[in-house]
Structure 1
Amino acid sequence: MKKIFSIVFLAAGIYAFSQQIESVETILSDKISIRALELYDHKVWYSGTDSKFGFIDLKDSKDQKQIKLSEEKLQFRTLGQDKTSFYAINIESPARFFKIDKKDLKSEIVFTDTAKTAFYDALHFVNGQLAYTFSDADKDNILKLATYKCGKWEMFKNNITLNPGEAAFAASNTNISSTKNYMWIATGGKASRILRLNFKNNEFEVFTTPFVQGESSQGMYSIDFYNDQFGVAVGGDYTKQDANINNIATTHDGGKTWQIQASGQNAGYSTCVKIKPGSKGKEMIAVGDRHISYSSDFGKTWKKISDEKGLFVAQWVNENSIVAAGNNRVVVLKLKF
């Protein structure tokens, strides 16, 4: 029996680490830094530096368009969408909420935050009628959250107090995730915690994590949830990108408790994690400034499948390919299983 089990586990191990990048196609080269992507109408849409916003058709990369949302050189690290429009918020103050019509790409500013501390780290649509975005806190250290309901933006009142030095990272627009019943926000810096909003009563719960934290550059950078119970978080320290201790964690109870995974056995700092559609949470990909990594066992073990550098954000296009972006490019990567 031991011999049979050994063969079975060996085969499983070979399968788990057989994934590799089959091809990398650059579909956009430009002087731009991109940290937010959306998929719509067989196109990848992006927002970035120098007020740039645009799309590339995934079927024909020659079909692409880019516009500037402002004559000012604004930096966009957020992007979201409902049925008719895209929304993007610049990171500096004043923070302007741009609405871009999907049909003609005409834009307008629909909300403005004039606070000097305004710095919006992520924008997430729960569905076509509901979205949330959060900013660095004001001097009172209260969680600063804006919500979009039925076409209107307004500030979300709450009494969640962040710790001194606790904030978030506008690294890939992915430190917010949601399911039907909950929304999660990942913080970092001096403290790296999970803030969970229950949609039934519109109240927050706050959970501590064992994630690396304590310095302004440390903590969770990205989260993704498969369902109400299972989720994954990645991050680390952007000043020490090879450091790989306590920088990946998973939860099986909706974010209440987190288990560190692959500590000391992963490729290091990551800015974005995405669960593969249809995998029920088992398969996922993570990108960092210096690597692309893959897990096929619910985030327990990871294999670096590419040394591609300068990528910050990714989305699954289908079960065999992802689109990723970062410094000066957007790429499509085909995976071989």
Structure 2
Amino acid sequence: MKKMFTLLFSVLNLIVFSQQIESFETILNDKISIRAIELFDGKVWYSGTDSKFGFVDLKNPKNQKQIKLSEKKLQFRTLAQNKDAFYAINIESPAHFFRIDKKDLSVVNIYTDTLKTAFYDAFIFVNDEHAVTFSDPAKDLNLKLSFIMPKLNSVLDFNTLTKREGFNSIKLNEGEAAFAASNTNIAHYGTNIWIATGGKNSRIIKIDYTTLKSYIYKTPFIQGESSQGMYSIDFSDDKFGIAVGGDYTKQEANINNIATTNDSGETWQIQASGKNAGYMTCVKIKPGSKGKEIIAIGDKHISYSSDFGKTWKKIADEKGFYVCKWVDKNTVVLAGKDKISVMKLKF
């Protein structure tokens, strides 16, 4: 009887989960770890381990291509794009900034950061002419911010570029850094950039890249250990945002690992503490939902919220995904260990 009850319970769980998943298809299998993806021209583009870069056609997965950005076996956890090209930076020093032309996939190394502490965590375009990336801090604990200037094919140090305009360097605390988890611990809306940190302190750094004003806000997120803090953030507008994370060494821990803001990051409210599936590495707000509908993934689950992140439902036990992105209002592409998959949802 007990076995029958357990089996029935498992079947009911699968039914509940499948009510929101219409289909789940893996469109790429390869020996690769993928933590950064972009969408362009009906394809999902990725960067990953062993210097691999490529695409898979979402409508015709057989149409795919992969190239090497370097003869060296570099690891990539960043990827960004403007109308002309993709840009990617490998983790660890020396950090090479690669530009990949969208027309012919030709690759150019436009800059190399030889600083021993170089470790670029995320990379994002704020408009078609400017991108922002940041690295782990050097020994002086100043956050290393850089502007990418695609038209000039150059990289300009944010602090050097703006010193004469009165920009104050942002100093992190000892043991505070960022996680190169899914290229999503940096977000932007309008002229605002938000950066999420973790470790000994888990804070939000907000920068207006036109006025160069910066603000640092404390959060109630789990923090204090090197593995704890915010891993991923997203904003639906200039006010509402969400942060997820936790402790990657304790995947099931689910206390103070989700928080939302309604005032542009100044204050944060913990959500669903003790009532979620645990550690999350990537969060994305559904386009057009104004923050109401959100998907998040961890190494061991896919979860969904339909009430601005207040409550969460685990919709799948899929493992090994690190990054996700909405394709449209019903479709999400996910990537991670050795695979890229497409999930269609029904509501």
- Which TM-score tier does this pair reach, normalised by the shorter chain? over 0.9
Listed as ranges, the gaps of 5+ residues in structure 2 are: 1-16, 160-167
Displacement of 1:23: 1.5
- The runs of at least 4 aligned residues of structure 1 exceeding 6 Å deviation read none
Residue of structure 2 in register with 1:32 after alignment: 32
Give the Cα–Cα distance (whole angstroms) in 1 for the partners of residues 63 and 236 of structure 2: 33
C-alpha offsets along residues 288-317 of structure 1, whole Å, 9 cap, x if unaligned? Answer: 100000000001000000000000000001
Give the Cα–Cα distance (whole angstroms) in 2 for the partners of residues 222 and 301 of structure 1: 18
Give the Cα–Cα distance (whole angstroms) in 1 for the partners of residues 125 and 23 of structure 2: 31
One of 213, 226, 229 as aligned partner of 2:236: 226
Pair 1:310-2:320 in alignment: yes
Give the Cα–Cα distance (whole angstroms) in 2 for the partners of residues 274 and 105 of structure 1: 28
> How do residues 104-115 of structure 1 correspond to structure 2 at under 5 angstroms?
104-115=104-115
Give the Cα–Cα distance (whole angstroms) in 1 for the partners of residues 276 and 64 of structure 2: 36
**What's the RMSD between the two structures over aligned residues?**
1.3
**Higher relative helix content:** 2
Pair 1:249-2:259 in alignment: yes
Pair 1:156-2:166 in alignment: no
Pair 1:334-2:344 in alignment: yes
Give the Cα–Cα distance (whole angstroms) in 2 for the partners of residues 91 and 22 of structure 1: 36
**What one-letter code is carried by the residue in structure 2 that aligns with 1:175?**
N
Give the Cα–Cα distance (whole angstroms) in 1 for the partners of residues 84 and 319 of structure 2: 34
Pair 1:261-2:280 in alignment: no
C-alpha offsets along residues 3-23 of structure 1, whole Å, 9 cap, x if unaligned? Answer: xxxxxxxxxxxxxx9962221
**What one-letter code is carried by the residue in structure 2 that aligns with 1:153?**
V
Contact 2:247 2:279 survives alignment (8 Å): yes
Listed as ranges, the gaps of 5+ residues in structure 1 are: 1-16
Pair 1:288-2:290 in alignment: no
**What one-letter code is carried by the residue in structure 2 that aligns with 1:189?**
G
Contact 2:121 2:179 survives alignment (8 Å): yes
> How do residues 128-147 of structure 1 correspond to structure 2 at under 5 angstroms?
128-147=128-147
Contact 2:45 2:56 survives alignment (8 Å): yes
SS in 1 for 2:50: coil
Residue of structure 2 in register with 1:203 after alignment: 213
C-alpha change, 1:19 and 1:256, in structure 2 (3 Å) is farther
Residue of structure 1 in register with 2:43 after alignment: 43
SS in 2 for 1:50: helix
Displacement of 1:149: 3.1
C-alpha offsets along residues 56-115 of structure 1, whole Å, 9 cap, x if unaligned? Answer: 001100000000001110000000001110000000100000000001101010011100
Alignment size in residue pairs: 322
Give the Cα–Cα distance (whole angstroms) in 1 for the partners of residues 330 and 150 of structure 2: 35
Contact 2:18 2:315 survives alignment (8 Å): no
Pair 1:240-2:242 in alignment: no
Contact 2:95 2:119 survives alignment (8 Å): yes
> How do residues 51-130 of structure 1 correspond to structure 2 at under 5 angstroms?
51-130=51-130
Residue of structure 2 in register with 1:7 after alignment: none
TM-score (norm 1): 0.94
C-alpha change, 1:19 and 1:170, in structure 2 (3 Å) is farther
Give the Cα–Cα distance (whole angstroms) in 2 for the partners of residues 181 and 41 of structure 1: 26
Give the Cα–Cα distance (whole angstroms) in 2 for the partners of residues 296 and 259 of structure 1: 17
**What one-letter code is carried by the residue in structure 1 that aligns with 2:307?**
D
Which has the larger displacement, 144-153 or 106-115?
A: 144-153
**What one-letter code is carried by the residue in structure 2 that aligns with 1:90?**
N
Displacement of 1:128: 0.8
Displacement of 1:199: 3.0
**What one-letter code is carried by the residue in structure 1 that aligns with 2:344?**
K
Give the Cα–Cα distance (whole angstroms) in 1 for the partners of residues 127 and 231 of structure 2: 23
Give the Cα–Cα distance (whole angstroms) in 1 for the partners of residues 74 and 343 of structure 2: 29
> How do residues 161-200 of structure 1 correspond to structure 2 at under 5 angstroms?
161-200=171-210
Contact 2:137 2:177 survives alignment (8 Å): yes
Give the Cα–Cα distance (whole angstroms) in 1 for the partners of residues 67 and 148 of structure 2: 24
SS in 1 for 2:126: strand
SS in 2 for 1:127: coil
C-alpha change, 1:286 and 1:19, in structure 2 (3 Å) is farther
Give the Cα–Cα distance (whole angstroms) in 2 for the partners of residues 222 and 19 of structure 1: 27
Displacement of 1:318: 0.6
